[in-house]
A and B are shown apart, each in its own frame.
Chain A
């Protein structure tokens, strides 16, 4: 009680997970700028960062949504690759006219359809059949990846029309297209979670599934929607990866799965459901990207990123629990 009356804007900021994360992001940014001011603070660096992170950040959005219900979607990367391969098959086998925009649209539609159907499959497993999400999506993820392997024999598919490159490599008024795409998706997700009945139900269900049932929430329909949206986000991430790599392969982005979980948890999403904000996830993505780019510049290897991401995750968890314990006593 006493802390509430003495709360200054500063203390209130650090009382929230997102507030502390904002501070961490800022500290990382300042630190990296100080370590290599000329390289880190260059326009070129910012552009390259903006091209790099959207693909896994979109997957983290999918993870956030499923984690809010107390679930998880371990099949997102599988969905991304399978949709990319379906799209790639259309792009390589259907010969369109000119720049291939029409074929590209057709490929995108097919990829999105794959994402939606895969998500529906997960939703039915979790909602209708009652499988634990972690096992349901682990199994379905293997199936999606497996189909992707079976379709391609495991090799990469290449040779796309030039228009394919746009979504991953172009700029829009100087802003990288993937960044614009991620910003739009993050904004939409934030609206979905805070301003719609669906979003409220998702959070309430995550907080207490039993009470949700007793409050006459249509749980099955809500869960199916959650996994369908997650599947669609997976497909979109797949399109970005395909565009940036200019190819599609069954095992692309295999490290993105853990990364997406990591980002969501770092962003303050409660993996047992009920709490999470898009702004937290965005801050977590930014701090991770600043950290890895900055370290890259001072010559730290790519693998050190993993080390630092893991350490950051555990550090934040310790701070969060320590604070929660302090509050309780």
Chain B
């Protein structure tokens, strides 16, 4: 396969490789299973969020409310399961969260597809509404005793092992969920007509209408699907953290979108790949987890992520600007 140097995926992959190389030189212990499992663990919730953000960007919209949906869902799920349905097994707990997420996503869907409001403003509004509703009417205190189903899920490990130095490493079972989400989303985007219609309306809404695509229906699906993924991510986050903190997650939304754009998705819609998204998330997690290995104190972490975002989005923008100047 030929390597396309103009693609964002290539750029991000190169940066990841360079980062790992530099880290391996600085600390030979960097190249270990423990590092890898830490990295994968860090990508579980972020990865699901990023897939959700990707599908919205492809459809030509932007959603900043998914973190609020996730926080709302994990809190309500933990509360309701504790109070009324403690016997629900872990998979049903995840399903419960997905159902709540779907309902909240449907609210976005009605406002965007039904009323035709701009996506950024709607989701900005619902971000405040979901969060405000939860903190006002449901609760503000952390739920430290999770329902049994979530506790059980929190203890599930795919891989467990001992490092050479005697410390333990493990890979959480939720990683499998993230992988499933990626596979499922890939299948929807590339193997169903619905997915192709998502790309189509991201490419040109007007053309889509003219050939009879039910634009509203597709948009509605997109926001409900995002809601489902956000709900799932919320329950997973709480299960892995072993606490449902209503103040978690919100505030991550812009970084997630940045990771997706870093991976080549365009804000204008119609473009984006899951490979790029995964790479974008990997880079962000790598910087968060391992900057210290390169001798950069972790207080500089957000500076590093900021610079990455500027370079990752700036290079293509600058190339596009130069190409526009070159052509007539």
A interface residues, Cβ below 8 angstroms from B: 74, 125, 129-132, 134-136, 138-147, 149-150, 153-154, 254, 258, 261-262, 265, 271-272, 300-301, 303-311, 313-314, 317-318, 321-322
> In the complex, what distance in Å separates the CA atom of A204 from the CA atom of B124?
26
B125:A141 contact, CB within 8 angstroms: no
Q: How big is the B interface, by class?
A: 35 or more
Q: Mark B292-328, 1 if CB is under 8 A from A, else 0.
A: 0000010111111111111001100110110000000
Say which residue of A154, A313, A322 sits within 8 Å of B124 (CB atoms). Answer: A313
Contact A135 B267 (CB under 8 A): yes
Interface of B is mostly: helix
Dominant SS among interface residues on chain A: helix
Q: How far is the CB of A144 from chain B (nearest CB, A)?
A: 8
Q: B321 near A74 (CB under 8 angstroms)?
A: no
Chain A positions within 8 Å of B261 at CB level: 135
Contact of B302 among A129, A145, A307 (CB under 8 A): A145
Q: Could you list some 26 contacts between A and B, CB below 8 A? A: A130-B320, A132-B317, A134-B267, A142-B303, A143-B302, A146-B305, A146-B306, A150-B299, A153-B299, A254-B251, A261-B124, A265-B124, A272-B118, A303-B135, A304-B136, A306-B128, A307-B133, A307-B136, A308-B132, A310-B125, A311-B129, A313-B125, A317-B122, A317-B125, A318-B117, A321-B116
Bound: A265/B125 CA distance, A: 10
- The answer, yes or no, to whether B120 is at the interface (CB within 8 Å) is yes
Q: Cβ of B297: which chain A residues have Cβ within 8 Å of it?
A: 150
Interface residues of B (CB under 8 A from A): 111, 115-118, 120-122, 124-129, 131-133, 135-136, 140, 251, 254-255, 257-258, 261, 267, 297, 299-310, 313-314, 317-318, 320-321
A143: chain B residues at CB < 8 Å are: 302-303, 306-307, 310
Which residues of chain B come closer than 8 Å to A153, judged between CB atoms? 299
Known: A135-B261, A146-B305, A317-B121. 10 other contacts (CB 8 A): A131-B313, A132-B317, A135-B258, A138-B254, A146-B300, A150-B297, A262-B124, A314-B122, A317-B118, A321-B116
Shortest beta-carbon distance from B110 to chain A in Å: 11
